[in-house]
Amino acid sequence: MDRFFLSLNKVEDWIDNHLPYFYKNKKSLLEYHQMTLYGDRVDMKSVDILLKFYNSQYQSLNNLMNSDEIYYRKIEYLALMSLKDYRNSREYRLKILNLFNSGFLHQLLLGDIPLDILLSREHLYAITHDIFYTSIFSKDKSIFENIDQNKLSSILELSLLISIKRKDIDVIMELMCCLSILNIPISDYILEISVSILANSQVDNGFFIYDEDRPLLDKIEDFFPKVYHTTLVANILN
């Protein structure tokens, strides 16, 4: 397990060496800037870029989004504003709390939604995004301190087991980040299996294969879209 976490040191170098490819696509570029917000220091340039995109695109698309998409866009926006306008950070965090209390993960914790909904991959991502944005990109975990830790641990364990069964590397990586952000303990056995699957999906020069059953194409231009997201999430874990 220690060897795997040491191997994550290669990930940042791979990302830095392939920055031009992130700039070729708006989606990959925005996700790159999101990745930079995790950790001890915040790149305010990335905050500004993401806020600019939100203001120019997200709000105009509200009528085309479903309620879940609007919910996450609102929490993401408030999290970004909390970083940008730090003098009013408390105000934004209270708004995030109010949104979280009506959101998917909170309803799941209260038992208002049956756990079999986790068989939906979309709802596994809903859990991870709830944690990413509600924690202000890992900067503030106070909302989760008032939550039943045993229930949260059980939900994350079940989510991992479902993703392990599917060998869904991208979701496993996001769930591992959530465990790290919130410092939630889970079964050592489930943790070891998760790490083993991720370790086997890492290519020697740093990046992660999204689906280990699919062979990589020869050219970076062809396989970059399939590997960049999982690799960015791995760098958050790093």
Rg of the chain taking only CA atoms, in angstroms: 18
| pLDDT digit string, tens, across residues 93-115 | 999 999 999 999 999 999 999 99
Domain count, the chain: 1
Give the global pTM: 0.91
The predicted structure's pLDDT at residue 238: 80
Region of residue 136 (phi > 0: left; psi between -120 and 50: alpha; otherwise: beta): left
Q: In the chain, helix, strand, coil percent, each to 5? A: 75, 0, 25
Do 200 and 212 contact (CB within 8 A), yes or no? yes
Q: What range defines the domain where residue 37 resides?
A: 2-237
Higher pLDDT, 82 or 211: 82
| pLDDT digit string, tens, across residues 30-75 | 999 999 999 778 889 999 999 998 887 655 555 545 667 778 888 9
- Say how far apart CA 97 and CA 143 lie, in whole Å: 7
